[in-house]
Structure 1
Amino acid sequence: MDIENMRAFIAVAEHGSISSAAQELHQLQSNMTAKIKKIESEFETELFYRKPRGMELNEEGKKLYAQLKKIVLLWEETRSMMGEESPMLRIGLMVSKNPPNFNHAMGTLYDKYKNLAVTIKTGNTQKIEDEIASGMIDIGFLVGKTDARPLHYKKYGTERLVLIGKNIDKPLDSILQSENLIISSSQCYYKKVFDQLLEDRRMVRTDFVEIAALDSLISMCQLGMGVSLIPESDMAALGIRDYKVIDHHGCELEKFICYRKNHKITGIEQQLIDLIMNAD
């Protein structure tokens, strides 16, 4: 079995779809199907449940997926160490949200590559997309996407936004009407969620309070000077125990790894992606 067949299997397993995996790897759908059949033939067993709307790993497939992920990661390490590429990462991160396991992943790579050069740009979703499209950075970790640029997006999880503040025990309509709505910038993705919540209630607010520094934003909310939206997964790390879950589709966000369609993912980039996607 060659490395490209392994990548094909992993992509189908992660997307649950032959067509989506083919799009990611820039392959014909028929070629991807042939690769999966070849792997199943090699192990003389089916590895997926075939469903009307996609494919799902069966128990044998799950075992093989875990093993192939290790093999591909080891190959990427080998490819980097043998000098096929410069040890370099140019990354875009959200101002208010790093990917899970990011610090640990970077620590792992710094241990392996002592001369690793890293460039990190921060900003909102649109700014990171623009930086990638212009070639200033190569990959970005986004919460939400704008589809304003011809970029490739690989989903790696979901995130739920929750409302924080001192006066969040009131009805949501009252909060949206009377509290200061605090955002990091007028272009941030969370501002769009506030806009959706207001639009659904036929409310109009143009007096958003912008605070770029996350610590200051949280302090204002805790002091009762307004409310804001924060990823629920960050609550414990930020020391916030009280928050309000909002039942609205806009608060359920998808997380993406983003890169230019003509960009070939390097071994080091793939290692970073794998470490983040496999985070608990």
Structure 2
Amino acid sequence: MDLNDLNIFQTVAAHGSVSKAAAELSYVQSNVTARIKLLEKELQTPLFYRHKRGMILNAEGKRLLQYTKSILSQFEEMKHAFQSTSTPSGVLEIGIVETVVALPSILHAYYSHYPDVELSLKAGVTEHLVQEVAEMRLDGAFVTGPVKHPLIEQFDVFQEKLVLVSQGDDFSVEDITTRPLLLYKKGCGYRERLETWLKMEGIIPKQIMEFGTFETIVGSVAAGIGMTVFPESSISGLRAQGHVHCHALPEPYNEVTTVFIRRKEAYVTSTLQSFIDEIIAQIQA
């Protein structure tokens, strides 16, 4: 058993499929199958329930996955520690929710100061990005806060107002029961705020349509397909042009905080520390 075996096992567990894991890892399928069988032989126990549509972890597989995540995370931390230099360089992997309007100014300032750093940005919803940071697949992320996770450290970046967004300027709460809501998939912090408010008010939406990008949602709202919820600043341009209109959400559901997160107790490279310092400098400017 080696680290590569554990990485293969974790990838198969994540996809529930040998073929999908092989595609992600750029391995031939037979090699992935063989490594899983050797791992099961070495541990003297099956790790998956196998069926026609794929594979599902059994109890022993779930137990091994916990150890695997811990081992691979510590290995990544060790690599970061030894690769770190006093001068920020290399690749910095940062997650973002798509509507962080202050991000361009932060990135511009950081690139100006540290041209040797290659920033890799990964867009996603808050819930997924938090898990990626906790498992050290990302160095850090901008997400909707506050975040409650035992492995996550966070600090506030800025606060914004959440608003309901529609094509027309006439709006009543009853519209939510007659028109579709266009939202990001589950795990989005904005969607969670809206759904909490609707639940408290006893409002049942007519329909929820899930989309994967900010542009698609806003374009669909502007076309009159339905309504959405976004930070007010992220749609200010379209609002000024008259393509969409904003409607207030009641307190406390209308306030959203963007936070930057990193894994607690993980080694902070000079590259990551310089990025955090730049965020703080931008906040205080």
TM-score under structure 2 length normalisation:
0.61
Equivalent residues of 1:99, 1:141 under 8 A apart? no
Equivalent residues of 2:176, 2:206 under 8 A apart? no
Q: Write out the 4+ residue segments of structure 1 that deviate beyond 6 Å after TM superposition.
A: none
Q: Deviations along 1:28-84, whole A, 9 cap, x unmatched?
A: xxxxxxxxxxxxxxxxxxxxxxxxxxxxxxxxxxxxxxxxxxxxxxxxxxxxx9745
Establish whether residue 125 from structure 1 lines up as the match of residue 126 from structure 2. yes
Letter in 1 for 2:235: M
- For 2:147 and 2:129, locate their aligned partners in 1 and report how far apart those are by CA, in whole Å: 11
Q: Deviations along 1:132-155, whole A, 9 cap, x unmatched?
A: 111111111112244144211112
Letter in 2 for 1:252: E
- For 2:89 and 2:270, locate their aligned partners in 1 and report how far apart those are by CA, in whole Å: 10
Letter in 1 for 2:247: K
- For 2:125 and 2:213, locate their aligned partners in 1 and report how far apart those are by CA, in whole Å: 13
- For 1:117 and 1:243, locate their aligned partners in 2 and report how far apart those are by CA, in whole Å: 37
Residue 39 (structure 2) aligns with? none
- For 1:123 and 1:213, locate their aligned partners in 2 and report how far apart those are by CA, in whole Å: 9
Equivalent residues of 2:106, 2:278 under 8 A apart? yes
Equivalent residues of 1:91, 1:120 under 8 A apart? yes
Letter in 2 for 1:259: R
- Of 257, 262, 265, 1:259 maps to 262
Residue 211 (structure 1) aligns with? 211
| Inter-CA distance 227–152: structure 2 relative to 1 (3 Å threshold) | same
Letter in 2 for 1:272: F
TM-score under structure 1 length normalisation:
0.62
Alignment coverage as a number of residue pairs: 198
RMSD, aligned CA = 2.6
Residue 98 (structure 1) aligns with? 100
Equivalent residues of 1:168, 1:175 under 8 A apart? no
Residue 29 (structure 1) aligns with? none
| Inter-CA distance 220–86: structure 2 relative to 1 (3 Å threshold) | closer
Shift of 1:116: 1.6
Residue 224 (structure 2) aligns with? 224
Residue 250 (structure 2) aligns with? 247
Identity of aligned residues (%): 19
| Inter-CA distance 129–119: structure 2 relative to 1 (3 Å threshold) | same
Secondary structure of the equivalent of 1:249? Answer: coil
Equivalent residues of 2:89, 2:271 under 8 A apart? no
Secondary structure of the equivalent of 1:219? Answer: helix
Establish whether residue 137 from structure 1 lines up as the match of residue 138 from structure 2. yes
Equivalent residues of 1:139, 1:259 under 8 A apart? yes
Shift of 1:206: 7.4
Where in structure 2 are there 5+ consecutive unaligned residues?
1-83
1:28-177 aligned within 5 A: 83=86, 86-94=89-97, 96-98=98-100, 100=102, 102-172=103-173, 174-177=174-177
Equivalent residues of 1:87, 1:113 under 8 A apart? no
Shift of 1:269: 2.8
Q: Deviations along 1:222-249, whole A, 9 cap, x unmatched?
A: 2221100111112224455521122231
